[in-house]
């Protein structure tokens, strides 16, 4: 191979290798093709670096904290060093805590559980269900759902007005996404944080879609907490993170009661027990910690940092720009957006195709082109319904989701990419969209268990 050919080959390779990059899948039209994983927003593939680090540690796996054996001590050091690595990756303040959870959903439910009594929560209807739904689980918490803004400035103005009008004036929390899991659009987090603090409220950042695609700096953004999931940050081993201010976490009862969270337990003369709980992050990490999950997140953080996160962001921006340019050439495609075509976004984009049900289109991309995307409402039902309010969807078409009485069937297609996405996957996706719109599907499809699948 010539030097120029080698250079050309490298130019289309992803900068950070991921597992599954060599997997081939069968096509209904015959033959096989390399699988194009374009569903990073749901679960990103594991970085090869993460997999290798976990495999190297696995023989040394042991229980953490209080173990006298060598493997326990090694695992404890690894677990706590992972906490520090993640703290650095997130730009945490000196007195912030990093609590290991199961996911973004678990992190935000933990925060909901430790809110001071009678806290008012303000959340935009545009949030993912993980950050939209946890707050009403407590009877003493009042939730204000804010309408979908159509510009970043409108988001700030809407929040400021809602906070200024709140009664009674007491503890308040704002929950906002950093990047939409539907449109990929970046939200004005720093400005929203300033508005929240100006009105005596705190703010938590749902960084599930932001952290894998863009640097997150808690101190610089001036948010009180940030939450994200390992499985979206190329570390799919069942762990998540809640990082931020310690006081509300320390003042509340443990999220789970059990070993690890308790510092001292003693019997009382009346037959009961007295418990002294930890005041560190361990207070909300009862049970045996997910050491491998925590280590895998730290490994991903190191890999992204060492690769040059700014360079990764620049490449991803070039890829999503190619997607947008290609889709713009197809009049039948409507890309969904809250803030308009010029709004900055991460590598996530949703769209609908005139004349197609989105589930049918996604099924054809998979079966005929080996491209994995997502279709549906993306666990952000109010947002997608707002964005699709005027978009017709053919009722009864293959894979069309059931609609409530009086409602149309609504769903969309989402394509998402990341550091492991080769150029070829993007080009194949754009070509496939153009061919399907121009020529239609080459195969027949049917609905099975609510999904559109190739007919036998």
Catalytic residue among 13, 92, 175, 379: 379
Instruction: Return the beta strands (E) in 112-253 as ranges.
Output: 120-124, 142-146, 172-177, 202-206, 225-229, 240-244
452 is an active site residue: no
Q: Collapsing DSSP states into helix, strand and coil, what is residue 20?
A: coil
Location of structure tokens 């950050």: 131
CB atoms inside a 10 Å sphere around CB 71: 14
Task: Using the CB atoms, write b or e for 281-301: b if 16+ within 10 Å.
Answer: bbbbbbeebbbbbbbbbbbbb
CB atoms inside a 10 Å sphere around CB 305: 14
CB atoms inside a 10 Å sphere around CB 127: 23
CB contact set of 280 (below 8 Å; sequence gap of 6+): 97
Q: Are strands 142-146 and 348-353 parallel, antiparallel or unpaired?
A: unpaired
Name which of 243, 256, 265, 264 is nearest 283 in CA terms. Answer: 256
| Phi, psi torsion values for 320, nearest 5 degrees | -70, -30
DSSP state of 324: H
Name which of 452, 456, 455, 437 is nearest 360 in CA terms. Answer: 452
CB atoms inside a 10 Å sphere around CB 369: 20
Q: What is the per-residue DSSP string for 329-361?
A: T-TTEEE--SS-TTS-B-SEEEEEETTS-HHHH
H or E segment and range at residue 305: helix 291-307
Let me know: does 77 contact 260? Beta carbons within 8 Å: no
Name which of 398, 328, 87 is nearest 217 in CA terms. Answer: 87
Q: What is the per-residue DSSP string for 70-131?
A: HHHHHHHHHHHHHHHHHHHHTT--TT-EEEEESSHHHHHHHHHHHPPTT-EEEEETTS-HHH
The count of residues in the chain is 456
CB contact set of 300 (below 8 Å; sequence gap of 6+): 47, 49, 50, 230, 233, 234, 235
Strand partners, 26: 32
- The catalytic site residues sit at 379
């Amino acid at each position: 191979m010539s030097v120029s050919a080698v250079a050309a080959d490298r130019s289309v390779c992803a900068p950070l290798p991921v597992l599954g990059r060599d997997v081939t899948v069968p096509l209904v039209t015959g033959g096989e093709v390399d699988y194009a994983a374009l569903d990073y927003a749901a679960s990103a593939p594991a970085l090869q670096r993460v997999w290798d680090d976990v495999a190297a540690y696995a023989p040394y796996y042991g229980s953490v904290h209080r173990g006298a054996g060598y493997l326990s001590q090694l695992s404890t050091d690894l677990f706590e060093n992972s906490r520090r690595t993640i703290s650095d990756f997130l730009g945490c303040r000196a007195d912030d805590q990093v609590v290991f959870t199961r996911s973004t959903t678990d992190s935000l439910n933990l925060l909901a559980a430790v809110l001071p009594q009678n806290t008012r929560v303000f959340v935009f209807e545009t949030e993912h269900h993980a950050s939209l739904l946890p707050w009403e689980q407590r009877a003493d918490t009042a939730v204000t759902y804010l309408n979908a803004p159509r510009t970043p400035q409108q988001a700030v103005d809407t929040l400021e007005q809602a906070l200024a009008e709140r009664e009674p004036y007491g503890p308040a929390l704002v929950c906002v996404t950093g990047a939409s899991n539907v449109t990929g659009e970046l939200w004005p987090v720093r400005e929203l944080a300033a508005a929240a603090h100006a009105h005596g409220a705190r703010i938590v950042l749902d960084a599930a879609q932001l952290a894998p695609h863009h640097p997150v700096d808690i101190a610089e953004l001036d948010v009180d907490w940030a939450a994200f999931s390992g499985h979206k940050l190329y570390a799919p081993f069942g762990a998540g993170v809640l990082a931020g201010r310690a006081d509300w976490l320390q003042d509340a009862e443990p999220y789970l009661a059990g070993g690890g969270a308790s510092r001292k337990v003693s019997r009382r003369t009346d037959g009961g027990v007295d418990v002294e709980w930890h005041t560190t992050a361990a207070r909300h990490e009862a049970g045996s910690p997910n050491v491998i999950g925590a280590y895998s997140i730290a490994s991903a953080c190191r890999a992204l940092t060492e690769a040059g996160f700014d360079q990764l962001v620049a490449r991803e921006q070039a890829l999503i720009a190619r997607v947008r340019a290609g889709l713009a050439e197809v009049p039948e495609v409507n890309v969904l957006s809250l803030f308009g075509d010029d709004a900055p976004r991460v590598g996530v984009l949703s769209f609908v195709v005139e004349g197609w049900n989105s589930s049918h289109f996604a099924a054809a991309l998979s079966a005929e082109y080996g491209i994995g995307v997502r279709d549906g409402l993306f666990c952000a039902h109010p947002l997608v319904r707002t964005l699709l309010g005027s978009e017709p969807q053919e009722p009864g078409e293959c894979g069309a989701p059931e609609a409530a009485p009086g409602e149309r069937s609504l769903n969309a297609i989402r394509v998402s990419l990341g550091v492991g996405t080769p150029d070829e996957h993007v080009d194949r996706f754009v070509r496939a969209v153009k061919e399907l719109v121009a020529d239609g599907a080459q195969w027949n499809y049917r609905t099975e268990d609510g999904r559109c699948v190739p007919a036998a």
